[in-house]
Amino acid sequence: MGALTNLDLFIVGVVVAATLVLGASVYFSDRQSISNKMFLGFSLVTASWGVINYLSYQFSNPTLTIWLLRGILFFAVFQSLFLYEFFSAFPSKTRTFSSRHKFLLLPLVGVAALLTLTPYVFIGIIGTVEPGQVAVVQKGPGLIIFAIIAIGLVSRALYMLLQAFRDSRGSARRAIAIIFSGTAITFVLIITFNFVIATIFTNPRFVPLGALFVFPFVAFTSYAILREHLFNIKVATTASLVFLLSVASFGEIIFSDTLPLVLFRTSVFVLVLVFGINLIRGVLREVEQREKIEKLAKELEETNHRQETLIHFIGHEVKSFLTKDVGALSVLAEGDFGALSTTGESFVEDALAQAREGVRSVTSILQAANLKRGTVAYHRAPFDLMTVVKTSFAAAQGAAKEKGLVFTLSIDQRVEPYTITGDADQLREHVFRNLIENAIAYTLKGSVAVALGKNDAGAIVFAVKDTGVGITDEDKRRLFTEGGHGKDSLKVNAHSTGYGLYIAKQIVDAHGGTVRAESEGAGKGSTFVVTLPSSRV
């Protein structure tokens, strides 16, 4: 085949590639949008129409030719329908279909489409059929119904796009104006040359230009997308490259001189188009994910700002109120305003304990926030860890006795001293005291055993073993995380904030140590082990 003979095929290939790339790019940019779905449908039907239009004058068989000519009108009906559906929804992403649309318009379109495949529209071929020449057909009365439906839908579609133009502003208005221009040019050309002149005046010489007439719609729509930045530049660039590769692969068909070579290069073109569309889909997904990440990052930044504001309020207002309450209740409990009755004394002591618990909870939340921001200052100095553990143990004896627990402390005297360099206050309040009090809080009966010793490497090992509620595998994953409550922890300890173990781990990590939890499961107790490097004496 020569280059001149295949020029119309090349035009068809270019338009089909451009239509499919454009349709896929629009659809995959938002697959939930009804406008995008209708545009994809229009693109697929238009590409099919272009191919059938080309094939309609390539054969000498009259039967095959008449069916291809009927196929042109068949696809033209659905081309008009999808154009109408697209413009009736554009630029909205959703649309509600009325009963008249479902039960009147769609059945009429279906009947008109089926009618085009019957002799009521094209009765038969007049004269002979020559390959490369458009056949002259004998027209039937059904052609009038086709014309009313197809031209009516196109006219209505353009009218609705004008309404959208009137109601829009800014970049959307400019984009609609460009798309309207391309659409109007395309369908004026198709209706004039491929229908009126070819069918009514029986002059089919312009039928081979059908695919070319689609080009204004594709070109103007693509220009609107690029000019108004309706797509991410990365997506637009990818779509352009896919289109150029498709055209380049299809261009080789022009210089094919045998049928097998034409078929082979056509297959290459189809593969390039399919893989290219998948590439566009992947790029769109990547862009969508990046936009989601950027949105989440912005929301996270805003949330962090609100959290810091809240923490600032808690630190300066709530804690201040609770501290004043503790001070006032302490004065009453100590009898500075006179002796209280037995009932009053009990009430004040309970209120004082609750207020102190509130202060501790607020302090834990503020401490966790400061650790997260990295604003905690450690006052490091050598100190005796054994003294700190003994102090923490003594402070918890009252709570253990009140619950009737066996509460023991075991210190391996053989490996003294237990000297460590670090912040003694932070370790005492937020690590050792917290772990011991947790063990007592989550042990309903039995014992809590505190132990201090060293391992074979000379590191200091602190352990708290209890016979309490134990830890499930599910809860183990949440331990030492910010706000990480166990599944049923609040049922046992209503005052748990979920920050204690998180704070303990952060402080132990800052001292170059480790903390871990061991348990055989629910109801089987637990052991918390802290390992810290000892200082050389």
Residue 107, in any domain of the structure? yes
**Is 33 domain-assigned?**
yes
pTM of the model: 0.58
pLDDT bin (cut points 50, 70, 90) of residue 471 is confident
Is the pLDDT at 461 greater than 70? The verdict is: yes
pLDDT tens-place string over residues 120-132: 999 999 888 888 8
- pLDDT for the residue numbered 26: 84
Number of structural domains the chain divides into: 3
Does 18 lie in the same domain as 165? yes
Asked if 468 contacts 435 with a C-beta cutoff of 8 angstroms, the reply is no
Indicate if 43 and 70 belong to the same structural domain: yes
Separation between Cα atoms, residue 464 and residue 408, nearest integer Å: 10
Shared domain for 515 and 417, answered yes or no, is yes
Domain identity same for 349 and 422: no
Q: Can you tell me the mean pLDDT for 244-255?
A: 76
Q: What is the pLDDT of residues 394-418, one digit of tens each?
A: 989 988 999 999 999 999 998 889 9
**Whether residue 323 has pLDDT greater than 80:** no
397 and 307 within one domain? no
The angle at the Cα of 302, spanning 300 to 306, to the nearest 5 degrees, equals 115
Structural domain ending residue among the three candidates 373, 394, 428: 373
Longest Cα separation, the chain: 124
Domain end marker among 373, 390, 410 = 373
Determine, yes or no, domain membership for 295: no
Q: Does any domain span residue 293?
A: no
CATH number for the domain that contains residue 479 = 3.30.565.10
- Does pLDDT of 332 surpass 90? no
Asked whether 511 and 505 are in contact (CB, 8 A), the reply is no
Query: Are residues 172 and 31 located together in one domain of the fold?
Result: yes
Residues 313 and 436 in one domain: no
**pLDDT band at 292; cut points 50, 70, 90:** confident
Q: Looking at the structure, do residues 317 and 433 belong to the same domain, yes or no?
A: no
Q: Are residues 489 and 387 in the same domain?
A: yes
CA 501 to chain centre: 33
Percent of the chain beyond pLDDT 70?
A: 80
In this predicted structure, the answer to whether residue 348 has a pLDDT above a threshold of 70 is no
**pLDDT digits 0-9 by tens, 252-279:** 777 777 767 777 877 888 888 888 888 8
399: which residues sit within 8 A by CB, 6+ positions away?
437, 440, 441
Rounded-to-integer distance, Cα 166 and Cα 530, Å: 72
* pLDDT at residue 489 tops 70: no
Cis geometry, peptide bond prior to residue 91 (ω within 30 degrees of 0): yes
Domain membership flag for residue 523: yes
Give me the helices (H) in 335-384, please: 342-373
Round to whole Å and give the CA distance between 55 and 210: 12
Highest mean pLDDT among 370-374, 430-434, 497-501: 430-434
The verdict on residue 288 lying in a domain is no
398 is a domain residue? yes
Distance CA(267)–CA(261), nearest Å, equals: 10
- Is residue 239 very low, low, confident or very high in pLDDT (cuts 50, 70, 90)? confident
Q: From the DSSP assignment, how many helices (H) and strands (E) are in the chain?
A: 18, 9
Helices 170-189, 142-167: inter-axial angle, 10-degree rounding: 160
The pLDDT, as a whole number, for residue 365 is: 61
Mean pLDDT of the chain: 82
Q: Any alpha helices (H) in 374-493, and if so which ranges?
A: 385-402, 424-427, 433-441, 473-476, 489-492
CA 498 to chain CA centroid, Å, is 30
Q: Give the model confidence (pLDDT) of 57-94 as tens digits.
A: 888 999 999 999 999 999 999 999 999 998 888 877 78
Is 255 inside any structural domain?
A: no
* Residues of the domain holding 396: 381-533
Q: Find the mean pLDDT for residues 327-335.
A: 67
Give the whole-angstrom CA distance, residue 437 versus residue 348. Answer: 23
Measured between alpha carbons, how far is 534 from 537 in angstroms, rounded to an integer? 9
Based on the fold, state whether residues 364 and 498 are members of the same structural domain.
no
Q: Are residues 187 and 38 in the same domain?
A: yes
Residues 343 and 385 in one domain: no
Mean pLDDT calculated for residue range 432-443? 90
Residue 2: the pLDDT is: 44
Average pLDDT over residues 35-56: 91
Lowest-pLDDT range, 56-60, 107-111, 526-530? 56-60
Of the residues 340, 373, 406, the one at which a domain ends = 373
* Residue 1 reports pLDDT greater than 80: no
